[in-house]
Amino acid sequence: MPEALVEVQDLVKYFPVYQRGVLLKKKVGDVHAIDNVSFKVGRGETLGLVGESGCGKTTTGKVMLDLETGDSGKVLFEGKEVHESLKKAPRSEKLALRRSMQMVFQNPYGSLDPRMTVFDIISEPFVIHKHIPHVEWKDRVYSLLKLVGLEEYHAERYPHEFSGGQRQRISIARALATEPKFIVADEPVSSLDVSIRAQILNLLEDLQKKTGISFLYISHDLSSVRQVSQFVAVMYLGKIFEYAPVNQVFDKPLNPYTMALLSAVPIPDPVRQTKRIILPGDVPSPVNPPSGCRFHPRCPYAAEVCKTDEPPLRELGSGHLVACHFAEKFA
């Protein structure tokens, strides 16, 4: 893995849960959204972050960009702690850091202001960050439109005049307007038609080749994760269960939860067949996660030790980290 651009160290984020009484509301627990999560994103690489809805993927992305504040732990960008830098660094440094890290949201319908033209949407970061002279705005907007596969004449149109895929291209162009080194792409294709998804995924891959951007690609769709990622982290109830190069995760998963997720991915080969692993029950509440291994109530391989002892994330083979007491059995 190349040098880390972004590093997450022991990140924790809980959301308090309140119960409203007659006069006052009192705290009755915490949603354990992120619980001691650590990983790295290399320069020019994509880390796919996968897991079921509500497992803490989006919160992780937001805390990395300081859109949410973590309770403890660190996020380092080029070796500097992001939250502290944004609080204490001089204004010019803060703006430079904000420019370097951007987010592309899931819903291209809700993330674009319907009253603004595409030109105004894409050039808005130039107004905020003042990193591009005004005389160059037009050329920059046109070149960004070209980069994401749109035409110059699209600049004068409004978001409602575009399809879902084209709107996501506009969102990506806006994120690129600050010349970022790192983008958190949160389910960027999940609200799009299947035929459009492939175009956006290809676009992300092309952009990475052309600009060397690093991505955190958040998704519950493992097929798209396999296409765009070099590394994969599997998350369950706020914890990382497996982290490895993409082929190792897909070809030789070592955690039963990863195996169950992968068994649900359709294989476009009528001869090859996989046995679908059906997990019993629902994902437990993140307010009161199970003791020991959080996956034990649903795991087909759970033993007594899994109910009491939390498995640490440990390395089994080159760069393959896994949290399971019995991972050697699956190697």
Point out which residues bind ligand SF4 (CB under 6 A).
255-257, 293, 295-296, 299, 301-302, 306, 311, 324-326
Q: Of the two residues 200 and 299, which places its CB atom closer to ligand SF4 in the complex?
A: 299
CB of 186 to ligand SF4, least distance (A): 26
Shortest spacing between CB 314 and ligand SF4, in angstroms: 11
Please state, in angstroms and rounded to a whole number, the distance separating the CA atoms of residues 261 and 18.
33
Distance separating alpha carbons of residues 241 and 313, to the nearest angstrom: 7
DSSP state of 29: E
Cβ proximity to ligand SF4: between 165 and 256 the closer is 256
Residue type, 315: E
CB atoms within 10 A of CB 275: 6
With respect to ligand SF4, which residue has the nearer C-beta, 123 or 255? Answer: 255
Q: How many CB atoms lie within 10 A of CB 59?
A: 21
Q: Which of 236, 267, 237, 270 is nearest to 250 (CA)?
A: 267
User: Measured from the CB of residue 295, what is the shortest distance to ligand SF4 in angstroms?
Assistant: 5
- Closer CB to ligand SF4, 244 or 299, in the complex: 299
Quick one: 188 or 311, whose CB is closer to ligand SF4? Answer: 311
Alpha-carbon gap, residue 253 to 256, rounded angstroms? 8
Closest CB 51 distance from ligand SF4, rounded Å: 14
Nearer to ligand SF4, 180 or 256 (CB): 256
For ligand SF4, which is the closer residue by CB, 32 or 296? Answer: 296
Residue 142 or 241 having the CB closest to ligand SF4: 241
Q: List Cβ neighbours of 34 (8 Å cut-off, separation of 6 or more).
A: 11, 12, 13, 56, 59, 60, 63, 70, 238
Q: Find the helix packing angle between 137-147 and 164-176, rounded to 10°.
A: 130
Q: Which is nearer to ligand SF4, 188 or 286 (CB)?
A: 286
Return the closest-CA partner of residue 69 out of 10, 119, 117, 13.
13
**Closest distance of CB 31 from ligand SF4, Å:** 21
Give the nearest distance from C-beta 301 to ligand SF4 in angstroms: 4
Residue 110, token pair as written in the block: 């809700």
Q: Rounded to the nearest whole angstrom, what is the least distance from the CB of residue 54 to ligand SF4 in the complex?
A: 19
Distance of CA 33 to the CA centre of its chain: 14
| Partner residues linked to 17 by β-bridges | 29
Query: Could you identify the residue written with the tokens 């592309």?
Result: 104
Closest distance to ligand SF4 from the beta carbon of 69 (Å)? 30
Instruction: For the beta carbon of residue 23, count every other beta carbon within 10 angstroms.
Output: 5
Q: For residues 262 and 167, what is the distance between their CA atoms, to the nearest angstrom?
A: 30
Q: Tokens 């806006």 sit at which residue? A: 174
Least distance between ligand SF4 and beta carbon 291 (Å): 11
In our burial notation (b when 16+ CB lie closer than 10 A, e otherwise), range 186-200 reads bbbbebbeeebbebb
